[in-house]
Chain A
């Protein structure tokens, strides 16, 4: 360093020249200390010191301004006029990429004069007479605003057609009267062209230029004392009261760069700040801790420092302390810098390879720290501060910044480790801390403080369903979000900003010159941004998060919005008179994106696609809703063609697609990035009117490709629906915000700096407060537990009874279970002893899984190949043996009666068989010969057709085998093969009528008035392993057979393989059933759902019930009754059925196996117990007695206790690593 010092050319020891003629800049190196300046503008900014009033030197973020000036659409707007305009109206017209105009309003309170020009100042009549046609009110208004109420300009604007484009974008907006009273029309920022929104990325008003003209180049803000140390010795180098210059001693970057040709920025050596005497001699340096931030402020052109020597020893020696007083002046540029220049663009351009933290973000952090320290040093207190952010502020900020440094390092390492994995795997989670539930509670409290007096809105008449009150309120809220970017809530200061007063006296109590109109300045201590204009909190996104709890009818609410906020075609569109306008639109199409102003895109999980379709149709008056399923083979349409503006009559109102489709189209797009998206005709080639992401927690991982794909979908109105906006992490929310394009939060570095880092640094209160302020205007959330002021629940739901049924394992199952349990327990104990519980966690977990499977059905734990082999053998045996696993009694009887009629086979045994079988059939076998019960309990027969109770028979056979003798029939002493014991299964009286007819015909003696039920003989221990029943299946069948025939049941299991076993067992007892799991293609799922709900008796539920029939009509009742009995049982996998589905047609739920957290089960149960359910719901959870499952219930209880009232913690299986510790505790619960 000292070398650097000595070689420094003295001529460069001046202020402010460093950056502009710094070799770094000219070399284009991104220097950590200089990133906020556009290198090319460096010189110009320097010039600006002297002539700050020159508009030709806009700050970097205003790059687009010259476009406005040169734009043909606004010829009379000279730069001067424009500035005038902005000063008065605080409207900035920033150009869109396609050359159209987009006014952005800011109500700057800095100027009391910010009054709108009265709309009356615009002579509408005159204008109309000139252009010769009458325009709709809002077009007129648009032109009016674009022309700043200048009729002449307005006429120009009208004829050049440039007003058209934005007008269309806002065409759907109702011409409300409120709007006319606003100063000027505020147009939604068209998200497709991000220039405008990005330039305003953190709420810093754009129009600071207006006041900046009055702002002097530097302005005093305070002074502080510092003890510098001398770097030279000498006599009388300085004396008390002498002024000293503070300047940066930069290391020589050129020298640094030479090595290996690598860019090498020595950040650490970069903070030297020295002070020189009047003659430019270096006297000494500022101490490290001061220099650290002073250097940043100087480098980033934030501040200028003037020093005065307070004390200096007469004879100075190196390392002596020299006391200085530093007066600090804020430079004008500090207020001018465009916050986040380019970072907004980063979001777009680097969307595919998003970095963790760029050098820019780093410099931002440095500046932020520097500012905070400065304010601390000069003891400048904010005059106004958001009370919620006040707490912990400074410490938090500094620590957050330091954290960021470490965090970054850690992250990078982790990234390296991760890079081998597929980073697009949406399940791969951040390693960031998870939210505790009480924190979530806090977070939601605000969003949830739902005002029951919120205004309501009536849906459009084309909407057919009746909305409940709270749904109408949601509609109103959504309409206001979509139509008005500024809602009526009071304008408040952006929570991240603080207001400071300019000091009126300096440190020596001298009056300072005041600047008119600028008494305050505003600091964002989180970003280090400064502003002289009031930073209003604003949300620019037209949309939000509808986070109503499941079952409150989010879908319906959304559909009502689709109906109620539509775009009508502009009358001129079809007339073709606007040849000029067409010209104006050319650039739009050449960029590849076509506007689809009538179309709402719904992105939903695959399982919900058909539900969306059917609900959309059901909620609409016939003919008012065109739904396009954009999925699978149906994708072969060109959205550009069918949705474009001209196709008002045919464009689909709603396009339903899946996340998978979005992702795959996005991949294609990325793969062929050279081809314009236009060529595809897919989702990305169109700008929709509105996008709705259903179950939006699907994109909670911002790094997943799905999420990124969704970000890129284009629409001005963006909504996400989710019952759980935050699943585990605050980042989950970020992804939603990112999709919604809520500035500034959609910038991840911004988010990270202000939310993630503080949060990880345990600055929970602050982080959560910030999140809350983000959420509040964005989220509408109501929960099922909410009560109206009258104490009524929002949605009256029928009763739900949950019973836990303890199932006793059969002996055989118990043996297997015990065996596996012993093994698992041993593993556990061994690892506890060795202290390696964490390492072998997955092993133990796998064993627990085995245990749980055993509880369901032992075969689940067996090697699949072996099982398959056994199946084959069994099938072969079945084929050779005339005794099958499953025999129909009637068939047997027919077979034997036939042979008795044959005179040759006058065999006693055959006769007996026929007789015995008939006895079985007519239930006249009398009492059990073994236990004397009459009638026989669960009759079973031997291969020699002797009946007894199943249990007695089994006991007897086992008894004999235990004695080591050949089992023989209790009756005829014939050898009995334990395999060849059959139970008699009576099938419920259903579609066996035909079989019975035959029977009565062939044997009138046995016919009775009532047809006998169909009976089959089934091997108790089937040869085929999967044909074995299990305790749970048995219990389930018991329940199902007791259920009245007209009610439907849903059976959940987390193991699809278990469902595979249950299915056949149900078939055996004649329970027809359906099956739904994640492996099924969408079409099959839809078919299953439609089949299951088909014969619903109540067809006219008010809300949210589903009508799966893809056609609009339902089969008539008569037709239905004739058709076969519909399946009344739906087997569904817990995971596939956990989300979204509507199964209100069922009223019984069976949960076959417990999940680790009851929330997941509850969610599944809520598929049935949700709005639209009219019957009481009975829920049976099967749990094996004295097993791991019972202990799992205890784990569930524990989780429930931890969880707050919100029950938001749904994704229980996420972030396995993070949860390990937690799980260890659970393991203890499981094994000890």
Chain B
């Protein structure tokens, strides 16, 4: 199956200039969702490379955002674009172990834009930025890893500490 033009275009853009993203995919006007507005960030730190044998499969790495427990870590993810992408969101999962209330032990991510709030106007890049943003702003009220979330609520500094340790252990090698 030929690769849709959109995927080709997205891939090209991901590869070409990860830091200078010319296209402003989401509207600056009247956007109602906060999470979407994050994508405006110019501070990047994401990298996605497709597999040569399957161009719908990407190896992704995300830099932990500054001032977050994940700072300095480089997290590896895998990303797969299903056949009906962009009607359905990409499938994405952390490969690197991470201590985060919205990411479970298997690396699955709880993020609205990957579920109900997916929109075909979102792209790989914007999703990755969203994930990066999620690292910077964990949301224990909508947990995926319940134990982590509980700890985050009970004792946030301790949780952050653990997160930092995990980052050091798993994401900095």
Contacts and interface: CB of A to CB of B under 8 A. Distances in A.
- 4 smallest beta-carbon distances between A and B, as pairs: A912-B29, A929-B121, A932-B6, A970-B121
Contacts of B84: 959
Q: Is the interface on chain A under 10, 10 to 19, 20 to 34, or 35 or more residues?
A: 20 to 34
A908 interface: yes
A908 B30 contact: yes
Interface of A: 908-909, 911-912, 915, 926-927, 929-933, 946, 952, 955-956, 959, 965, 968-974
Given A912-B30, A952-B120, 4 more contacts: A908-B29, A912-B27, A959-B87, A968-B119
Q: Is the interface on chain B under 10, 10 to 19, 20 to 34, or 35 or more residues?
A: 20 to 34
B73 to A, nearest CB: 32
B9 A911 contact: no
11 contacts: A909-B29, A909-B30, A912-B27, A915-B29, A929-B120, A930-B120, A931-B4, A965-B116, A972-B31, A973-B32, A974-B32
A1117 to B, nearest CB: 50
Contact of A930 (B6, B29, B30, B33): B6
A926 B87 CA distance: 20
Interface centre among B4, B33, B86 (most CB of A within 10 A): B86
A956 B120 contact: yes
B120 to A, nearest CB: 4
Interface string B113-127: 000110111000000
Main secondary structure of the interface of B (DSSP, over half): loop
A106 B95 CA distance: 117
Given A972-B27, A972-B30, A932 B120 contact: no
B89 to A, nearest CB: 12
Contacts of B29: 908-909, 911-912, 915
Contacts of B120: 929-930, 952, 956, 970
B25 A929 contact: yes
Nearest to B28: A912
Interface in B1-60: 4-6, 9-10, 23, 25-27, 29-33
Nearest to A929: B121
Contacts of B87: 955-956, 959
A1039 B56 CA distance: 39
A684 B88 CA distance: 81
Contacts of A972: 27, 30-32
A973 B117 contact: yes
Contact of A932 (B9, B26, B31, B116): B9
B10 A971 contact: no
Nearest to A911: B29
B121 A932 contact: no
B9 A971 contact: no
A970 B119 contact: yes
A919 to B, nearest CB: 11
A916 to B, nearest CB: 8
B4 A930 contact: no
Nearest to A910: B30
B128 to A, nearest CB: 17
Contacts of B6: 930-932
Contacts of B117: 973
Interface in B101-156: 116-117, 119-121
Given A908-B30, A912-B27, A955-B87, A973 B9 contact: no
Contacts of A955: 87
Nearest to B27: A971
A955 B84 CA distance: 11
A864 to B, nearest CB: 38
Nearest to B24: A926
A930 B5 CA distance: 10
A970 B5 CA distance: 18
A931 B5 CA distance: 7
A932 B5 contact: yes
Given A908-B29, A972-B27, A933 B119 contact: no
A868 B26 CA distance: 43
Nearest to A930: B120
Given A959-B87, A971-B26, A973-B119, A932 B32 contact: no
A973 to B, nearest CB: 6
Nearest to A956: B120
A972 B121 CA distance: 10
A132 B166 CA distance: 143
A908 B121 CA distance: 21
Contacts of A915: 29
Contacts of A970: 119-121
A931 B10 CA distance: 10
A946 B25 CA distance: 12
A973 B5 contact: no
Contacts of A908: 29-30
A1148 B124 CA distance: 49
Nearest to B9: A932
A974 B36 CA distance: 14
Given A930-B120, A955-B87, A973 B10 contact: no
Interface string B59-94: 000000000000000000000000010111000000
Contacts of B26: 971
A1024 B60 CA distance: 50
A930 B27 contact: no
A877 B29 CA distance: 29
Contact of B121 (A911, A971, A974): A971
Nearest to A926: B23
A1185 B84 CA distance: 27
B164 to A, nearest CB: 35
B125 to A, nearest CB: 12
Nearest to B120: A930
Interface centre among B9, B84, B116, B120 (most CB of A within 10 A): B120
A973 B33 contact: yes
A972 B28 CA distance: 10
A1008 to B, nearest CB: 24
Nearest to A946: B27
A969 B25 CA distance: 14
B10 A932 contact: yes
Interface centre among A931, A965, A974 (most CB of B within 10 A): A931
B132 to A, nearest CB: 21
A971 to B, nearest CB: 5
Interface centre among B33, B116, B121 (most CB of A within 10 A): B121
B13 to A, nearest CB: 9
A933 B5 contact: yes
B37 to A, nearest CB: 12
A970 to B, nearest CB: 4
